[in-house]
Amino acid sequence: MRRTTDAWGSGLLGVIIFSGSLPATRVAVGGFTPVFLTSSRAVIAALLGAALLLALRQRRPGRGDLGSLAIVALGVVIGFPLLTALALQHMTSAHSIVFIGLLPLATALFGVLRGGERPRPAFWLFSVAGAALVAGFALAQTGSASLAGDLLMVAAVLLCGLGYAEGATLSRRLGGWQVISWALMLALPVTAVVALASLPEVWAGITLPAWAGLAYVSVFSMLVGFVFWYRGLALGGIAGVGQLQLLQPFFGLSLAGLLLGEPIAWTMVFVTALVVLCVAGAKRFA
């Protein structure tokens, strides 16, 4: 019982942290190019991760772990941040919720393919129902985006689901925060070169909100969130705990209501309640 509570508590905290990622990215691309934003956030997080690894004297991963770390780096260090930053040039952060609603399903699929998990058939019913509820709610709140933006978000979700599942499997041996730190370090030679090559030509016009967005996605989205997220997936199962991502859009909208005074419609409360039931059902049959 304690292990289950720790797993779902850690996963939920990770989801809450991640809920600010897309809005922060949307703000940040107003001052930085997607390429610089993706590479610089990875460099900043890698330096923080390296400091933790050195301070706590963590052992190096084995040669057999390098392939999995490369997949994590491709999926969550480079792929998802870059593709979402590119997509958000074609759509609003609200519209991107449509695709974030598909992320738990993608994570569960890769949990089966890469993590060896075997959820019961009823799990997939709850997972698909939850994804449909989130995507349907998001579509009802936003207009259509460009085809390019939609395709970029689909690719981002697939890469992110792969990175989540691979990282969670590896976390069982190395630890959650160690996995994301080593993945960031593995990608550092590439991200550092790209960051230097894509430096803004003019710094004076970059607004404070853009800097704040960069800071958030660098520290919280790229590092701190994964500390809790990978721990939750490793302890509680990739497919089951991964369904908590269905709540991410509603956390984001709730934060907007609390911090920005935006209205919270009754439909959001109703759909959130249905999504919670889907998460509970998926947890039972994972």
DSSP string, 16-34: HHHTTHHHHHHHHTTTS-H
Query: Which H or E element spans position 231?
Result: helix 225-236
Is a pLDDT exceeding 70 seen at residue 30?
yes
pLDDT tens digits for range 98-120: 677 788 888 888 888 887 878 88
Q: What is the pLDDT of residue 21?
A: 82
pLDDT digits (tens, 9 = 90+) for 169-214: 898 888 888 999 999 999 999 999 999 999 998 898 899 999 999 9
pLDDT of residue 255: 65
Count of CA atoms in the C-beta half-sphere (13 A) of 275: 25
Q: Indicate the SS3 state at residue 286.
A: coil
pLDDT digits (tens, 9 = 90+) for 219-232: 999 999 999 999 99
- 90 close to 156: Cβ distance less than 8 angstroms: no
Residue 272 has pLDDT above 90, yes or no: no
Region 70-80 average pLDDT:
93
pLDDT at 91: 73
Residue 28 in contact with residue 214, Cβ under 8 Å? yes
- List CB contacts of 221: < 8 A, sequence separation 6 or more: 17, 18, 20, 21, 24, 25, 41, 81
Structure confidence at residue 263 as a pLDDT band (50, 70, 90): low
**What distance in Å separates the CA atoms of residue 171 and residue 167, rounded to the nearest whole number?**
6
Task: Please give the share of the chain, as a percent, with pLDDT higher than 70.
Answer: 90
Q: Are 48 and 270 a contacting pair, CB within 8 Å?
A: no
Average pLDDT of the chain? 85
Q: Tell me the pLDDT band of 94, cut-offs 50, 70 and 90.
A: low
Burial 260-277 (b: 16+ CB within 10 A, else e): eeeeeeeebeebbeebee
Model-level pTM? 0.83
Q: Whole-angstrom distance between the N-terminal and C-terminal Cα of the chain?
A: 16
89: Cβ–Cβ under 8 A, 6 or more apart, which residues? 29, 34, 149
Q: Cβ(165)–Cβ(114) under 8 Å?
A: yes
What's the per-residue H, E or C state across 70-138?
A: HHHHHHHHHHHHHHHHHHCCCCCCCCCHHHHCCHHHHHHHHHHHHHCCCCCHHHHHHHHHHHHHHHHHH
CA geometry: angle at 185 spanning 181 and 187, to 5°?
A: 120
Q: What is the span of the domain harbouring residue 62?
A: 2-285
pLDDT of residue 141: 62
Predicted pLDDT of residue 281: 79
The count of domains in the chain is 1
